[in-house]
Structures are given as C-alpha cells and as structure tokens.
Amino acid sequence: MPHPDPFLGADRFIVDGRNVLGAMRRAGGDLPAQALIARLWTVVGSRTRIIVVFDGVRDGGAIVPERSSRLVVRWSRHESADDVIVRMVAEAPVGTLVATDDIDLGSRARALGATTVRSRQLVERFARQHTAAPSVGAARAPRPSAASAAEAASDDDAARRAWKPGRGATRKTGNAKRGQRPSGPPAHG
C-alpha cells in the first residue's frame, strides 16, 4: 500500500532542477540553486535518496553538490535532463517520486510506474516546513492571532483561579531562615 504522503513514502526522489527553480522564482523566491539543494533534505524521509538533475554542464561552482550518499547532483551534459530522468526512473520506478512541471516528463515517468508531484507542490512544502520548524537564525513561526492569544490567556487565568492548595501543596511564607520567632517569651536583658 503506498504511503499517503508521496514525499515521505519515496525511496528515491528525483528533482527536475531547472524546472523546480523556475517554480521557486514564480513563487517569489529568487533563490540560487544551492538553496534548492539545501532545502530538499527537509521535505523527504530520512532514508530517501535525493537526485537533482540539471540541464547542461556544471557551471564553474555555482552549484556545489553536498557530499552525501543520500544526495546526488547531476548535469545532463549533451542530452536533455528529461531524458536522463526518464532513464533513471526506468531503472527503478517503484518507490520513485519525480518533481517537475513538465507535462511530457511527468507522463513518461508515470507510464513507467513512478509517482510525480508538481514543482508547485514541492515549493509549497518548502514553505510549510520553514514555518513549521524554524531553525537557529531563521524567522520564527507565525504568532497566533490576537483572538486565539486572548482565549489562551483566559484559559490560563481560569486554571490559576481553579487551583487550590491541597494534599502535598505548600504555601510559601517567606525565607525559612529569616524571621523565625522563638516560641518562648522574648529575652530581655
């Protein structure tokens, strides 16, 4: 039975690099290719192998592939990235997820047995992951609305009013070492 979340159920995640970068730019994130590569880790399962395929040849260092057995960045060289991706899908279609907006590539991958997602879905997933789990130095998740904050505050106030000291509870009366009065009459000298 397939996993209900295609991103988490994939054994292999093949990304049409230029196509997804275009979707990121259309969504208002004019980010370098390196940003795409860095974000891919956050959207798939910890055992998923990620392969990003770019058209053409590697350009002198603009895209630095991370050194990992789980992530590979490939360039198609003298053939189209679509053909490289289709060949990779044909090798092991079951458990393979392909991210692209290219209709022909998506059809070819599905015909071989792979699952596909639109680039827009991947970009939306990046946005959800970013707001759901902020990292050090990143913007925090959105604050709750004023109405939900007021509701939470009233719940806290009600809980404080409802609590009564009981068995095992103590009431603090001050510093135990200071201010203790002797039990007998005061000594006059």
Structure confidence by residue, pLDDT tens digits, 6-28: 888 899 999 999 898 888 888 77
What global pTM score does this model have? 0.64
Q: Domains plus CATH for the chain?
A: 6-132 (3.40.50)
C-alpha distances in Å from residue 24, one per residue of 31, 81, 112:
7, 18, 27
**Residuewise pLDDT in 10s, the chain (189 residues):** 566 788 888 999 999 998 988 888 887 766 777 878 888 888 888 889 999 999 888 766 556 655 677 888 888 989 999 999 999 999 999 999 999 999 999 999 999 999 999 998 988 888 776 554 444 444 454 555 455 555 555 555 555 555 565 665 566 666 767 665 655 566 665
Q: How far apart are CA 76 and CA 112, in angstroms?
A: 20
CB-count exposure of residue 116 (10 Å: 0-12, 13-18, 19+): buried
Question: Phi-psi bin for 29: left (phi > 0), alpha (psi -120 to 50), beta?
Answer: beta
Pairing type for strands 115-117 and 96-99 reads parallel
Nearest CA among 88, 125, 122 for reference residue 105 = 88
